[in-house]
A and B are shown apart, each in its own frame.
Chain A
């Protein structure tokens, strides 16, 4: 299982990472608002993450760090 780390305060909630994830790991947090006033991304199903880093590749703000054991 890969590990995802987000710089949540820099997230603008564009959702490009959510759309590109092949395993449905990510979602925008509907009940949270970050410093910038956006609903930030969060990992709702991290066990399914395969560490492909597609999310990080498409993230315009470079907020995702992907590590694999």
Chain B
């Protein structure tokens, strides 16, 4: 088994709501070239294997993995596609290197959300076709059900959920990659159009296009190629039972168990003191709070108050989504977790500019696979 695995390269295209000027292949090529340059690779031929993260129905192409090699320089190389978030790809690349099978592995994810004209209908295709789909409801009702249960069980208030939106959109103003930065008040968030109550419009992400590519390498190669390798300390991923009728609505077992898996590998006993900052899924306002409680950073029913008090701000005790999160940057479908990792890499390298945190040694990224899933992945990164 290889001792350690690091991320040594990252390249991306700036997220934008529309990208009619480039195809997904051209967008991904740009991210790949930048990533390989960042990793100081002398040639794409040095890469041993490739992992892409994509869903056929989001691409509109069956067996989409057939269309992934060209833009990564992966023609006639080992390549496979995972139908999940970029964090699953990071975990897979980590394992490939850990086993000693490969030395350098690339992970790619992208979003062309603007090309999907019926996205809610595509998401609805993920709910049970016999038991749930005939109800013919916009699938975001599932977030409404989950938020209702979370508020009831934890006594979290709508104001506390709204404070996540205020924080993340404000953080996004300091991130030039963000599409939805804004200075908002709690009342503006709460008074925005009611959508899937208790959700309001501003508590839900908008989608954007973009591509991101990572280069991971074994310890020896990582140290040789990059001055600031970012070490993968732990990875976890969990799928809960999918049924909407019997799932645990107020707690995220996928987040709890995937973080537990990653903590064990990383030797984390107390995430709040041992991890400097967090980039966690915030597809809906309450999800950030729910995730923080599930991964043990806050006790049940206390994350909301912490956010409202400012503890989750960049200058607070526990910075969360300094990047602006998906509420601020925009959701990039399967690439969303990739942009959480991007922020962590920038922070850990000391390259985050105006957002640079002083405590920047260890960080955690958490991805949720979105409506209607009860699945997610967790990655812990560190400078040492």
Q: Do A and B come from one complex?
A: no
List residues of chain B with CB under 8 Å of any chain A CB: none
List residues of chain A with CB under 8 Å of any chain B CB: none
